[in-house]
Amino acid sequence: MLLYFFFVLGIGFALKRYMKTSKDFFQAGRALPAWICGLAFISANLGAQEVIGMGASGAKYGLETAHFYGIGAIPAMIFVGIFMMPFYYGSKARSVPEFLRMRFDEKTRALNACSFAVMTVFSSGISMYAMARLIEALHVFDGLFRALGWPQGGIFTFSICLSALIVLLYIFLGGLTSAIYNEVLQFFLIVAGFLPLVLLGLKNIGGWSGLKASVPVAYMHEWKGMMHASTNPMGIDIIGVGMGLGFVLGSGYWCTDFLVIQTAMASHNMESARRVPLIAAVPKMLFPFLVIVPGLLALGLPTPHSTTVVRTENGVIYHEINVVPPEVEAGHGLIPAKVNPVTGKPMLDASGRPLLDYDMATPNLLLHYFPTGILGLGLTALLASFMSGMAGNVTAFNTVFTYDLYQSYIHKGASDRHYMAVGRWATVGGILLSICTAYAAINFNNIMDTLQLVFSFVNAPLFATFLLGMFWKRATGHGAFAGLITGTAAAMLHHGLTLPIEAHPGIHGGWITVLHHYPSDMAQNFYGAIYAFSANFVVAVVVSLFTKPYPESQLVGLVHSLTPKPSHEHLKWWKRPEALAVAILLVAVALNIFFA
């Protein structure tokens, strides 16, 4: 683990020498090869929400979680590579909000920049919180703390500060390049840490068929019961998944979130920029095996009722049998129940069953299978996943803050050196804010749901704006702005009026009054996204039709019908992005049929 930290910081220092202008710092000089950017593209997303959250959702909803990949991510990644990247990369915009200013106007950009800045801070705070909690639960630093005589309660704070410091240092030194390099490093580390876990777990439980036998039937099918909400574990029907996840949330995330787009924009030419999301889609298809299967395995293993430690002393064999604590006893498989920190008893949901702490599914499996040695690698992989998620958020935050807020509204026309310094300090500020969020993130059962909630407020309506902006030349700035506001308002209203079954009104929804019950919080999120998207779309179209259109000369390179198509005639047909896209789509469909 120390080795890893050493390398992470080493890359930061090695790259510091190359950081000469703000372009180097914020955009990696637009000079990175496509495969590096491609891996960073998914690695930026491979934070807490992915490794822990997907394991958690795997245990909670079963193989249906793979829809986040098959429907949520892959088509959106292909779409962004084929259709949207020419505008992002070709317009020479330095960030997603800047693209909005070129296409629409200043206020749309300001709105997007602000909401985006808040969101990145939120996400990286959640990453940090999850990591600190995990370190606490896995007793990584317990020995160190005992040796130094510090109180055990300080571990949470200590882990937060440590992770913040490391991420801060390497971004401060090497900017986006350093973040991207480290993301790729973390990508391989995560694979190296989780692949043996899945292999061992599958071997123990009796292979794929053994896993099938040990969890409920519905958990092993991606599509079974999708026609109606009451017949599958996620409690959502095909319209909710297809529209909500596939069209709105997935595209909203992969196509408009600067967090992932920034890595594609760092590549060295248009062809690679378009190929980046496509390259990323290939490993993305295989990731369900690494992150969802551990959750299923944890669910499928027998619940331990007692632990036996066998040790040999002077030829005598001792069997020490301990009864497990109540939270493990009340759990399911390797997943413990959530404990109320005040009473110390397992928490119950509205219908009296224990609330399971799904976030512990993957970490517990790690502890269950890995012996000393490789366990260190597994834990490092976990920590790496948190840091890569955090780092992506932080670099996105410093770019947007510097270009779209500071340079545009606070201090115009300063020297390049000045902006680079601002970027560095924005990094510090962003991380400090994330630390505050980390302490605020203690109220949720499933990190994934929290993130989806934030995305459905901000991101879901956003995709409608980009879609209209890129493919309808009549769309105007006023329309886009009004649409965004309505979309976000619609999302919040929807959240306030509905409640998932088995949840108490409050942070899970229903804070205005409960008009409708959803079978699960995922269903609530997906439908919220659909409403937000539709509200934005309708309002943007209506307002655009009533306002003055932009002259076409202003929109060249920004709107589909007015932009010359990028030509790849000089490339062999199988090297063109379109061919790659079709191949990926076919494999994705095949995987979905296989696991139907």
- For another protein (CB under 8 A), the number of binding residues is 33
Q: How far is the C-alpha of 337 from the C-alpha of 345, rounded, in Å?
A: 9
SS3 233: coil
- Range 431-490, binding another protein (CB under 8 A): none
The CB-of-334 to another protein minimum distance in angstroms stands at 13
Q: How far is the C-alpha of 596 from the C-alpha of 587, rounded, in Å?
A: 14
In angstroms, the first-to-last Cα distance of the chain is 39
- Range 490-519, binding another protein (CB under 8 A): none
Using N-to-C axis directions, what is the helix angle for 106-138 and 48-61, rounded to 10°? 70
Query: Which range, of 4-12, 218-226, 274-282, 450-458, touches another protein by CB under 8 A?
Result: 4-12
The CB-of-374 to another protein minimum distance in angstroms stands at 5
- Range 24-43, binding another protein (CB under 8 A): 29, 31-32, 36
Scanning the structure block, which residue is given the tokens 């924009």? Answer: 265
Q: How far is the C-alpha of 46 from the C-alpha of 464, rounded, in Å?
A: 25
Cα dist from 208 to 16, 117, 205, 220, whole Å: 47, 43, 8, 10
Nearer to another protein, 395 or 488 (CB): 395
The CB-of-422 to another protein minimum distance in angstroms stands at 24
Report the amino acid identity of residue 496.
G
Nearer to another protein, 24 or 449 (CB): 24
Burial class (CB in 10 A: 0-12, 13-18, 19+), 98: buried
Nearer to another protein, 304 or 326 (CB): 304
Using CB under 8 A as the criterion, what x/- string covers residues 364-403 for binding another protein? ----xxxxxxx--x--------------------------
Binding of residue 9 to another protein (CB under 8 A): no
Q: How many CA atoms lie within 13 A of 160 on its CB side?
A: 23
The CB-of-204 to another protein minimum distance in angstroms stands at 6
Q: Which of 150, 188, 208, 409 binds another protein (CB under 8 A)?
A: 188
The CB-of-367 to another protein minimum distance in angstroms stands at 9
Nearer to another protein, 268 or 517 (CB): 268
Quick one: how many helices (H) and strands (E) in the chain? 24, 4
472: tokens are 């309808």
Nearer to another protein, 182 or 450 (CB): 182
Q: How far is the C-alpha of 187 from the C-alpha of 272, rounded, in Å?
A: 20
Q: Classify the C-alpha dihedral 130-136-139-140 as positive or negative.
A: positive
Binding of residue 140 to another protein (CB under 8 A): no
The CB-of-3 to another protein minimum distance in angstroms stands at 6
Q: Which residue in 333, 53, 377, 336 sits closest to 216, CA to CA?
A: 333
Strands (E) in 3-50, as ranges, are: none
Query: Which range, of 10-18, 274-282, 287-295, 516-524, touches another protein by CB under 8 A?
Result: 10-18
Binding of residue 11 to another protein (CB under 8 A): yes
Interface residues with another protein (CB under 8 A)? Answer: 3-4, 7, 10-11, 14-15, 17-18, 29, 31-32, 36, 177, 181, 184-185, 188, 192, 196, 200, 203-204, 310-311, 368-374, 377
